[in-house]
Chains A and B, each alone.
Chain A
Amino acid sequence: MKKFQFIMLTILAVVAFVACKSKKNEEPVNEEPISVNDEILATVTVQESEETTYTQNGVKVKVQMSDFVENALDIYLYAVSFSEKMPVKLDVIIPSVSVDNQGLLSANNVIPMMMTPGGQQPVEKYLVTDLNGQLREQSGKIEGFSVSLKFGEYPTTIKME
């Protein structure tokens, strides 16, 4: 009897071990590519200097898949400024930001585009470097978004409100 119980317990342990290992293998390793086309409101924070930051709340941000580059998306920032001293706010596009299936965002040395009447103009002054971020989406709708980057000289974060 004791021997039978030992064998049963052993079998149960092995089965449990195998079951757990199978579950671990089935955890999110997302193989579906990200697909997003959505607008959110975000807070944009710019480090103007070591002592001062400039924060703009309620910035409309649109994220959509790039038409020209695979696994990349375009980030649209509407009426955004990077300093309190800027007399006007701009509509800016950060194009071709790489995104993997886990929603990790990255880009470097990307020239942002400024929207103009009927088109776009490159704004070399605000060259985007060291862009890193995370996007969470569900069925094309953004559930989480945060990015850090440098616009020209200015470290900037963009975070969904």
Chain B
Amino acid sequence: MNNLHIFVRSLVVLSVLLFCSSLFSADITPEQELLDTLEEVVVSDTRIRFVESQNSVAKTTLFSKQLSQQQRLTPKDVSAVVPNLYIPDYGSSMTSTIYLRGLGTRIDQPVMGLYIDGVGIANKNSFDADFLDVRSLAVYRGPQGSLFGKNTIGGVMSITTISPFDFQGFKLKAGYANHNVVVGKLSYYALIKDNIGLSIAGAYRHSDGFFVNQYDNKRVDWHHSGDVHLKFEHRVDSTFTYSHLAYLNLLWQGGFPYHLQDEPVNHNDFCGYKRQNLLYAFTLNKQTKHLIIGSTLSYQLLFDRMDMDNDHLPQSYFTLSQQQKEHSVREELTLKPKKEKEHWNWLTGASIGFTHNDMHAPVTFLEQGIDSLILKNANNGIQTMFPNWRLKFSESQFPIDSRFHTNTIEAAVYHTSYFNVGNWQFEAGLRLEADKKYFDYNSTANIHFSLLDTDKNTTIGNGQIPVTTQLKGTASLLSLEVLPRVAVSYHKNILTLFASASAGYHAGGFNTQLFSDLMRKQMQNDLMENMHLHPTDNKNDVKSVIIYKPEHCLTSELGMRLHKQWQESNLTSELVLFETELFNQQQTVFPEKSTGRMMTNAGRSRSFGAELSLNFNYKQLSLFASYGYTNARFIKYQSAQNDYKNKRIPYIPLNTLAVGATYSFDLKHNFFQFLRINANTTAVGKIFWNEQNDVSQPFYALLNANLEFQTKYFTLALWGKNLTCTKYNVFYFESIGNRFLQSGKPVSFGVEIRAEI
């Protein structure tokens, strides 16, 4: 019995015991609503508080009640609820491909920063994790580079979890859904003293999976994950607070249920993902006579391993394994005036960080892969000159073994000032950032070959000739960036108008996934050389393809925000128009006849669009609507074969839509107190899947619903997702001449119980 099973069984037993004991306790209450607020003591990061307070930032904020009612459990689940945000649920939890306002790439760096309790998550592979006791989630749309630096050209998502100063006691949740989904959560919050708070939270989720692999008739996307959060907060006095945060996430899952069009998932090699994530942060806020000093020192450790049947077919072409270990250390320092002045306020900061990443990524060529991807090309070349010659390998499979080491050093300073003149606010900010990456690579492959004369049925020369292929070297990339932002807003009564212009950048990097193709080409060259045949096309310019440069954007926005309260009603709405120019655009391509994918700086693109959000509350009725439109096209993108000018950028949805309503019935019963009904729909599309725009996913909508009985002691919820059984695809790609898709999740429904003690 492994540790994970012990943890799960303990959690279940504890939950049951607590639940049973709760029935005999007079202090059990259903889940209470925390104040939906983002006060200074709640949000620890000064920059987040600053952005939140600004009138000129387009933002969407969701609170725990809405997330819980609508079963939004991970960052992927807030797609479309935030206008123009699309995080498709495909692949595995390693895949957090974020598209926001026409910006996004499938591999390496994200376009949106993720902050949890003020700590920036260093690696995108860690983004997809279950929410645990989230108090609020806010997405600040548009480039946030002037404050947050690289990889925030689309925006920043900030998650704030519950503090022991907000709530004391136990929080409990247990749930079950179809496909054998089991969730359990137990949290304990306490005030050790009036000014010292401690919380421990743990959660577990299991799923049998939604998709069956026809090859072995087993579900391919099963899931186990566990999370533990620890918080220690000390409000020493009115001038000094500090906290320790520690988050641990363990995950093991199957994944990558890709399939050919109109065919089921069918592959013969294992696909899965394992991850261990540890985050530790020490944050402090100190008020001096004139200043407030904020500091966040964090350390993050990521171990993960991905295994994939890389041909996604029942044949044995090749498999990929990618293991990485990453250490990341970062210090963020902020300064701001203690007393806000009438006309001029400011925020200044600095940050420094270091990341070390070791990656081991062997690609194993299997029998059919050797025949069709290596020998076929080699023999075609040989037989143009010598029709009766045939090349043969001794090995039925062999690895191309690649090891990469990447060190990144980053440093930045920034300043933002804002000036208040009557109802007007003017903002100007600038960030100077340096990012230096060092990369070294070492790929090797060893095979034995023989050359046959098929006419004479003899071996030419000596049989079993060894060939060793190696690509070894270093590369580096330096980015020096200047990221400005200017904004103006006008606020009076219920109306706010704003306009802004800001710059951002999306870091460059190295195409580690291309090395199997580079090695394959080098192996072919080396094989031919060993046969005294010299291919005329033997160029293998590693350095020209392994580096991709940063992309830069300039975004302009015009916006309007309305907040009206009258009698028992409350209306907030936001309308934003934006235009983004993207330079040196990073585009993920699948090179022709390739086994992998690479990032290339494609050219230039432009996206423009609109975002509309509405929230309306009237007595027991709550309505929300969120709509995003993005028109994103290439201005300049020429590959060797095609010109994609004016084509729509693939994977970016034209529209996102989320609409929902909740109605609460006061049952006026001693036990059954409230009944809440929520129905909502999320819709996305049209999505073009490739640069040619000849393959697409039409607009589709998913209907979800939730029925909650709030009793005297607990809340019982029945929920359903995709209740109309909509069939849709969430991902498409081409590999070795085949077109693959991943289907969206089918209908799911479940029940959960939540309680507080």
**Interface residues, chain A, with chain B CB atoms under 8 Å away:** 79, 81, 86-91, 114-119, 121
Contact = CB atoms under 8 A, between A and B. Distances in A.
Interface string B456-471: 0000111001000000
B373 to A, nearest CB: 18
A119 B461 contact: yes
A118 B465 contact: yes
B528 A119 contact: no
23 contacts: A81-B536, A86-B384, A87-B381, A87-B384, A87-B535, A88-B385, A88-B533, A88-B534, A88-B536, A89-B535, A89-B536, A91-B534, A116-B451, A116-B460, A116-B461, A116-B532, A117-B451, A117-B461, A117-B531, A117-B532, A118-B465, A119-B461, A121-B460
Kindly name the residue among B382, B451, B534, B537 whose own CB sees the greatest number of chain A CB atoms within 10 A.
B534
B21 interface: no
B530 A117 contact: yes
B532 A90 contact: yes
Interface string B371-384: 00000000001101
Contacts of B532: 90-91, 114-117
Given A86-B536, A87-B536, A116 B384 contact: no
A90 B531 CA distance: 9
Q: What is the predominant secondary structure among interface residues of chain B facing chain A?
A: mixed
Interface string B520-561: 000000001011111111000000000000000000000000
A89 B465 contact: no
Given A86-B536, A87-B536, A121-B460, A116 B531 contact: yes
A86 B461 contact: no
Q: What is the predominant secondary structure among interface residues of chain A facing chain B?
A: strand
Contacts of A116: 451, 460-461, 531-532
Contacts of B462: 117-119
Given A79-B534, A90-B385, A116-B461, 5 more contacts: A87-B535, A88-B384, A89-B535, A90-B534, A119-B460
B465 A90 contact: no
B536 A90 contact: no
Nearest to A81: B536
A56 to B, nearest CB: 10
A13 B382 CA distance: 73
Kindly name the residue among B385, B462, B530 whose own CB sees the greatest number of chain A CB atoms within 10 A.
B385
Contacts of B533: 88-90
A83 to B, nearest CB: 10
A79 to B, nearest CB: 4
A91 B533 CA distance: 7
Given A81-B536, A116-B451, A88 B528 contact: yes
A117 B534 contact: no
A137 to B, nearest CB: 26
A83 B461 CA distance: 26
A95 B396 CA distance: 39
A155 to B, nearest CB: 20
B461 to A, nearest CB: 3
Contacts of B534: 79, 88-91
A117 B381 CA distance: 16
Pairs of residues from A and B, 7 with the lowest C-beta to C-beta distance, nearest first: A118-B461, A118-B462, A117-B461, A89-B534, A115-B532, A91-B532, A79-B534
Contact of B465 (A81, A115, A117, A121): A117
A118 B532 CA distance: 10
A115 B529 CA distance: 11
Contacts of A91: 532, 534
Contacts of B386: 121
A27 B537 CA distance: 52
Kindly name the residue among A79, A89, A116, A121 whose own CB sees the greatest number of chain B CB atoms within 10 A.
A116
Nearest to A121: B460
B450 to A, nearest CB: 8
Contacts of B384: 86-88
Given A116-B460, A117-B451, A117-B460, A86 B385 contact: yes
A117 B575 CA distance: 72
A114 B532 CA distance: 8
Nearest to B382: A88
Contacts of B537: 87
B14 to A, nearest CB: 68
Contacts of B385: 86-88, 90
A81 B385 CA distance: 11
Interface string B248-270: 00000000000000000000000
Contacts of B451: 116-117
A151 to B, nearest CB: 13
Nearest to B383: A87
A81 to B, nearest CB: 7
Contacts of A88: 381-382, 384-385, 528, 533-536
Contacts of A118: 461-462, 465
Contacts of A90: 385, 532-534
Interface in B481-532: 528, 530-532
Nearest to A115: B532
Contacts of A87: 381, 384-385, 535-537
A91 B534 CA distance: 8
Contacts of B460: 116-117, 119, 121
A94 B462 CA distance: 22
A121 B381 CA distance: 17
A130 to B, nearest CB: 23
A88 B533 CA distance: 6
A118 B449 CA distance: 13
A117 B536 CA distance: 19
A111 to B, nearest CB: 15
A115 B385 CA distance: 13
Kindly name the residue among A115, A118, A119 whose own CB sees the greatest number of chain B CB atoms within 10 A.
A118
A116 B462 CA distance: 9
A89 B271 CA distance: 42
A119 B459 CA distance: 11
